[in-house]
């Protein structure tokens, strides 16, 4: 298989994108543990609806979240019990729910960070939206945006970059186009190797599309 991914150090990645987010140590977004009755109920709700949305016997990540949740700026931290009452949620909330629900449905799922190519007009609009809400939009710069999702390992053992906010799977291209990843990394508390883009990808390592 043609290898389209290369490892990259975070310093070079930040210089290339202009996103100085501390990518080396930046954690993925996490919802607080559902240790209250309301929190457990909300988590069970997302799992139950995702099961109802399944077709056939094969589990899949939740494809319906954008019907329930609207994307936009908000304050962190976020608790499970807060989610259904929030006017907007960002990609971190979408991703945290997606990864948790996918695992609960029996999928191999890992938290995923991505840098996505858009254009300068998208970025200027998002910066204005976040500024008007009283937040800093340091997650996007130039034509690149930081994004979160779920790495789903399919039945063939291959890693797929799932965007629950879309919802869709990202395709990896040798020349990244609009709304496609230019870099990503996934997380795991175990030492694993996942076939992605012609290589065996390891957790916590940033990978960049070869021609980016």
Higher pLDDT, 176 or 170: 170
Q: How far is CA 195 from the centre of its chain?
A: 18
Residue whose C-alpha is closest to residue 143's, from 180, 173, 94, 91: 180
Q: What is the mean pLDDT of residues 128-153?
A: 97
Helix segments in the chain, DSSP class H: 10-17, 37-52, 65-68, 91-104, 120-132
Query: How many Cβ atoms sit within 10 Å of the Cβ of residue 113?
Result: 25
- What is the phi-psi region of residue 65: left when phi exceeds 0, alpha when psi lies from -120 to 50, beta otherwise? alpha
What are the φ/ψ torsions at residue 207 (nearest 5 degrees)? Answer: -120, 145
Q: Report the percentage of the chain scoring pLDDT > 90.
A: 83
> 4 falls in which pLDDT band (50, 70, 90)?
confident
Sorted by sequence, the CB contacts under 8 Å of residue 176 that are 6+ apart come out as: 117, 182, 209, 211, 212
Indicate the Cα dihedral angle 143, 73, 31, 82, nearest 10°.
-160
Sorted by sequence, the CB contacts under 8 Å of residue 37 that are 6+ apart come out as: none
Res 103 pLDDT > 60: yes
> 1 falls in which pLDDT band (50, 70, 90)?
very low
> 212 falls in which pLDDT band (50, 70, 90)?
confident
CA-CA distance, 199 to 108, in Å (whole number)? 18
* Tens-place pLDDT, residues 181-194: 999 999 999 999 99
Weakest-pLDDT range from 41-55, 79-93, 126-140, 161-175: 41-55
pLDDT at residue 33, as a whole number: 72
Res 199 pLDDT > 80: yes
Pairing of strands 199-201, 159-163: unpaired
Per-residue buried b or exposed e for 37-69, using 16+ beta carbons within 10 Å of the residue's own CB: eebeebbeebbeebeeeeeeeebbbbbebeeeb
Name the average pLDDT for the chain. Answer: 93
pLDDT at residue 2, as a whole number: 63
Res 108 pLDDT > 70: yes
pLDDT at residue 137, as a whole number: 95
pLDDT at residue 35, as a whole number: 66
> 28 falls in which pLDDT band (50, 70, 90)?
very high
CA-CA distance, 44 to 55, in Å (whole number)? 19
């Amino acid at each position: 298989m043609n290898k389209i991914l290369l490892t990259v150090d975070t310093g070079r990645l930040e210089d290339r994108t202009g996103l100085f987010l501390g990518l080396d140590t930046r954690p993925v977004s996490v919802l607080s543990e559902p240790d209250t009755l309301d929190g457990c109920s909300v988590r069970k709700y997302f799992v139950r609806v995702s099961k109802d949305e399944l077709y056939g016997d094969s589990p899949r990540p939740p494809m319906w979240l954008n019907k329930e949740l609207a994307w936009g700026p908000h304050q962190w931290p976020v608790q499970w019990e807060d989610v259904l009452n929030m006017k907007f949620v960002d990609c971190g909330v979408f991703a945290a729910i997606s990864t948790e629900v996918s695992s609960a449905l029996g999928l191999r799922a890992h938290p995923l960070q991505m840098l996505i190519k858009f254009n300068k007009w998208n970025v200027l609009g998002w910066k204005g939206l976040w500024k008007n809400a009283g937040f800093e939009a340091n997650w996007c710069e130039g034509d690149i945006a930081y994004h979160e999702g779920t790495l789903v390992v399919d039945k063939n053992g291959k890693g797929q970059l799932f965007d629950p906010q879309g919802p869709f799977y990202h395709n990896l291209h040798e020349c990244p186009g609009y709304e496609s990843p230019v870099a990503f990394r996934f997380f795991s508390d175990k030492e694993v190797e996942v076939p992605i883009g012609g290589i065996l990808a390891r957790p916590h390592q940033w990978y960049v599309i070869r021609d980016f």
